[in-house]
């Protein structure tokens, strides 16, 4: 993102930009803290609304609060666009999309109904918390975690693809074995659901094998799942250790013996004693 692409803001816009997008000034920090509080409060309201006994007592208050929060978040969203250096970049950024998604459900609910409880998606806005409180080490850690997952995403995709094929085949076999004897295995899709529940070692028990052959076959699936769980763990562990190794290896070369592999805290070449 080259700096020259950004539009010119008026001093008034600039001041608001600093308050809304940055957290360096007291005003900016106060704005961010108030925002976090409002996000938490608004999620709590949506959650409480779903509890029937609470909802009946505070119905009116909840409706008012929800509209207040939605209007405030909408104003904030428009304001962010207005005082952004590159409005388009903000709108299409990860945080911009989340910000939009967090106000839409109320309007969708108003127009069509049914989207109300999706407002809890607002909790995703809390991800700003690390930036707001300058939790730099935490930011670094989450970047490293994201990087490790990013690097292993292909291996994990292949893994999940095979899990999918496996559960379809195992579920169908189990349907052939159990259906007719067991009221739980009503169809192949339900049996596939059961195979996922079993292979991942979740094991609700809402559907469980009852025929001896079904139980023997299930035991096989469980032991398979027990061994298969090693695969994603291995993938992510190897990726993380690789990332760490890269972080720790210094790129410097000794000017005298030209050898590499020095530690980050080394001042002298460990092979010939020359100053690095």
Binding to a copy of itself (CB under 8 A) within 143-172 occurs at 144-145, 148-149, 154-163, 165, 167-169, 171-172
Minimum gap (Å) between residue 223 Cβ and a copy of itself: 6
Task: State the nearest-atom distance from the C-beta of 273 to a copy of itself, in Å.
Answer: 4
Helix (H) or strand (E) holding 142: helix 136-151
209 — alpha (psi -120 to 50), left (phi > 0) or beta?
beta
Q: What's 208's DSSP letter?
A: -
Min. distance of Cβ 53 from a copy of itself in angstroms? 9
The site map against a copy of itself for 98-137 (x = CB under 8 A) is: ----------------x--xx-xx-xx-xx-xx------x
Alpha-carbon span 101 to 275, nearest angstrom = 56
Member of 85, 190, 211, 252 binding a copy of itself (CB under 8 A): 190
Which residue shows structure tokens 């700096």?
A: 3
| Residue number with CB closer to a copy of itself (17 or 262) | 262
Asked whether position 183 contacts a copy of itself by CB under 8 A, the answer is: no
The least distance separating a copy of itself from the CB of residue 35, rounded to whole angstroms, comes to 16
| In contact, 66 and 41? CB cutoff 8 Å | no
Q: If 0-12 CB within 10 Å is exposed, 13-18 middle and 19+ buried, where does residue 21 land? A: middle
The residues, any chain, with a CB within 8 Å of residue 275's CB and separated by 6 or more, are 267, 268, 269
- Which residue lies nearer to a copy of itself by CB, 78 or 126? 126
Which residues in 34-63 contact a copy of itself (CB under 8 A)?
A: 43, 46-47, 50-52
Q: What is the DSSP letter of 114?
A: S
Residues in 68-97 at the binding interface with a copy of itself, rule: CB under 8 A? none
Question: By CB under 8 A, what part of segment 227-266 binds a copy of itself?
Answer: 227, 229-242, 244, 261-263, 265-266
Rg for the chain (alpha carbons), in Å?
A: 27
């Amino acid at each position: 993102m080259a700096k020259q692409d950004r539009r010119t803001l008026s001093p008034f816009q600039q001041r608001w930009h600093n308050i809304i997008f940055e957290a360096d000034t007291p005003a900016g920090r106060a704005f961010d803290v108030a925002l976090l509080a409002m996000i938490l409060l608004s999620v709590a309201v949506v959650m409480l609304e779903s509890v029937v006994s609470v909802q009946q007592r505070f119905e009116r208050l909840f409706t008012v609060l929800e509209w207040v929060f939605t209007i405030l978040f909408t104003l904030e969203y428009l304001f962010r666009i207005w005082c952004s250096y590159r409005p388009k970049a903000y709108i299409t950024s990860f945080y911009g999309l989340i910000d939009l998604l967090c106000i839409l459900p109320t309007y969708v609910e108003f127009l069509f109904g049914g989207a109300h409880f999706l407002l809890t998606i607002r909790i995703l806005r809390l991800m700003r918390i690390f930036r707001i409180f300058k939790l730099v080490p935490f930011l670094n850690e989450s970047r490293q975690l994201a990087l490790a997952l990013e690097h292993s995403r292909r291996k994990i995709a292949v893994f999940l693809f095979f899990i999918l094929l496996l559960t379809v085949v195992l579920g169908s076999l189990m349907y052939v074995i159990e259906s007719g004897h067991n009221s739980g295995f009503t169809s192949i899709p339900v049996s596939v659901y059961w195979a996922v529940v079993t292979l991942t070692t979740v094991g609700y028990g809402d559907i469980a094998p009852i025929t001896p052959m079904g139980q023997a076959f299930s035991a096989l699936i469980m032991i398979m799942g027990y061994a298969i769980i090693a695969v994603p763990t291995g993938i992510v562990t190897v990726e993380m250790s690789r990332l760490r190794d890269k972080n720790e290896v210094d790129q410097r070369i000794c000017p005298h013996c030209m050898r590499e592999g020095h530690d980050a805290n080394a001042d002298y070449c460990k092979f010939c004693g020359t100053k690095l």
